[in-house]
Amino acid sequence: MARTLKISPVNRVEGDLEVRVDIEEGKVTEAWASGVMFRGFEALLKGRDSMDGIVLTPRICGICCSAHSTAAANALRFLNGSTMPANAYFGRNIVFGTETVMSHLTHFYALFAPDLTNEAYAFHTLHDELVKRFTPFQGTSYQKVLKERKRFLEIIGLFAGKWPNHLSFQPGGMTCTLGQSEIIRAQGVLADFQGYIEETILGTSIERWLDEIDSLEKLEEWAGQKNKNPRDLALFIQVAQDIGLYSMGKGPEKFLSFGAYEMPDQTFWLPSGFYDGRQILAFDQDKITEDSKNSWFIGSEKPQHPFDGTTKPEMDKPDAYSWIKAPRYDNQAVEVGPLARQIINQEPLVIDLFNKLGAHVFTRTIARWHEAMKTLKELKHWLDAINIKKPFYKVTKPVDSGSGAGLVEAARGCLGHWLVVENNKIKKYQVITPTTWNASPRDGHNTPGAMESALAGLSVNDEKNPVEISHVIRSFDPCLVCSVHTIRNGKKSTSFTLRTY
């Protein structure tokens, strides 16, 4: 007989997530992921000046504000037909890349790794070491990353003025003033942070990691090298297989990337694409739709493209269970995020892990770390590419009416802003965030979202301590503050207090 287990809220995720699962004979048979915090910005933006999106949307999330800033600025850039100097592309990528690396580290140490200290793993010979390093606020590695994270964010301060919620990203580039001293300081911060990564997390150089570790066998060999003090990532790898992370949380194994880190020639450092389970296909944004069948929104009979979408609440809607809509690509549920980006990029290590293990908790975690290493290396190249004698910004005249889409890759995956303007006022603004993709409810065809799919079939050893469910959820690094909506009905409005980070 199936038992229903509800976790509400799931702790150590950003925002309020509720997960409900049916468990029969120790296995999850079905799962439902619900965004239960009433929040959002689409209705708030309606009727405002077209430039207000740059001011307001970065406040959707205190962790990935630069991603929202980039998406908002790009939507206006394509609306206005603006162009940017080469320096603006490099500067944006430096800010964006710093934010993404910081997010990946924060996720592992503050959100994911504390579950490794769970009493369920007391049997493991390395459990005491896991507790010593990863216990929240007390662990040696936990404390160290908080200090290093703060220092690393100085790069964003140099390029954007402050973090979070800077206003330096504009349709025509970056409104920053940089000299050689700022570049040198940023290079110094980057070098110090790379030293921390190599000493505490890798135990080897980033170059060696990227050049030599390209398969599961080489990864395990590197992590299993005999030493009395394995670095943090090696410690995780030594434990991961023993506690089941190699085979836990298989997603739909279809992946989407909008393309990450736009370059002056309008190509992307990490390419866009769609992996359909067999091959990588070209990305076509016209294939994006949102389905409101199981969401607390009034929706059309058919899924809608974001340019046609609406955000009209229906709080008593029968059978609905989430304030998240169900985005689909070519009518299919997809996974987005670091794993998706590295598969689309055909990164050898990640491809080997995916081919041998599938899209499980371990593969997602290593893909996130691997992307952080690649990005740190590329940050140095972008810093070297900046020419301080040339401009970062080009003034362009805004148009009164039209539409534009800003599609970027936030730390957690595909982020899109769709903007429609009439008479310089916002007529419509729609946002689809990474967690909207990953934690979406079922669509009109009853197809579960990526997280719901990954939970189905999961073995749970102790219903009173379902740490396996926690591992799967956190492997997606969900951010609910980005994904749910708020409304304004006539003269009455719903009020709430925003959570800050």
> Is pLDDT at 494 greater than 80 in this prediction?
no
User: Is the dihedral angle over the CA atoms 211, 214, 218, 223 positive or is it negative?
Assistant: positive
Q: Residue 1 and residue 48: Cα distance in Å, rounded? A: 54
Read off the DSSP letter of residue 387.
Answer: -
The tokens for 60 are: 């959707």
1-49 pLDDT tens trace? 788 999 887 877 765 788 999 999 999 999 999 987 655 678 788 899 9
Q: CB count, 10 Å around CB of 225?
A: 10
Residue-level length of the chain: 501
Burial label, 276 (beta-carbon count in 10 A; 0-12, 13-18, 19+):
middle
> Is pLDDT at 194 greater than 90 in this prediction?
yes
Q: For residue 244, which phi and psi values (nearest 5 degrees)?
A: 90, 10
pTM of the model: 0.92
Give the residue-averaged pLDDT of 385-401. Answer: 93
Q: For residue 86, which phi and psi values (nearest 5 degrees)?
A: -60, -40
Give the residue-averaged pLDDT of 316-339. Answer: 95
Domains identified in the chain, total number: 1
Q: Residue 433 and residue 54: Cα distance in Å, rounded? A: 16
> Is pLDDT at 79 greater than 70 in this prediction?
yes
Query: Helix, strand, or coil here: 431?
Result: strand
Over pLDDT 70: what percentage of the chain? 93
The mean pLDDT value of the chain amounts to 90
Distances (CA, A) of 411 to 5, 148, 425, 460: 30, 19, 30, 29
Query: What CATH number is given to the structural domain containing 442?
Result: 1.10.645.10
Flag whether 500 is in a domain: no
Label residue 64 by pLDDT band (50, 70, 90).
Answer: confident
296-322 pLDDT tens trace? 988 777 899 999 988 888 888 999 999
Beta bridge partners of 489: 492
Flag whether 501 is in a domain: no
Flag whether 75 is in a domain: yes
Parent domain of 383: 3-493
Are 375 and 486 a contacting pair, CB within 8 Å?
Answer: no
Cis-peptide into 9, omega within 30 deg: yes
Cis-peptide into 164, omega within 30 deg: yes
Flag whether 51 is in a domain: yes
Q: For residue 399, which phi and psi values (nearest 5 degrees)?
A: -90, 155
Flag whether 102 is in a domain: yes
Label residue 101 by pLDDT band (50, 70, 90).
Answer: very high
Per-residue pLDDT, 57: 87
Give the residue-averaged pLDDT of 102-120. Answer: 95
Flag whether 499 is in a domain: no
Contacts of 236 (CB under 8 A, 6+ apart): 113, 116, 365
> Is pLDDT at 169 greater than 60 in this prediction?
yes
Q: Residue 177 and residue 393: Cα distance in Å, rounded? A: 10
Flag whether 393 is in a domain: yes
Flag whether 481 is in a domain: yes
User: Is the dihedral angle over the CA atoms 110, 115, 116, 122 positive or is it negative?
Assistant: positive
Closest CA to 334 of 448, 419, 496, 230: 448
Which secondary-structure segment (H or E) carries 76? helix 65-80
Query: How far is C-alpha 304 from the chain's CA centre?
Result: 23
Q: Residue 35 and residue 278: Cα distance in Å, rounded? A: 31
Query: Helix, strand, or coil here: 32?
Result: strand
Q: CB count, 10 Å around CB of 239?
A: 20
Q: Residue 471 and residue 477: Cα distance in Å, rounded? A: 10
Q: Residue 72 and residue 51: Cα distance in Å, rounded? A: 9
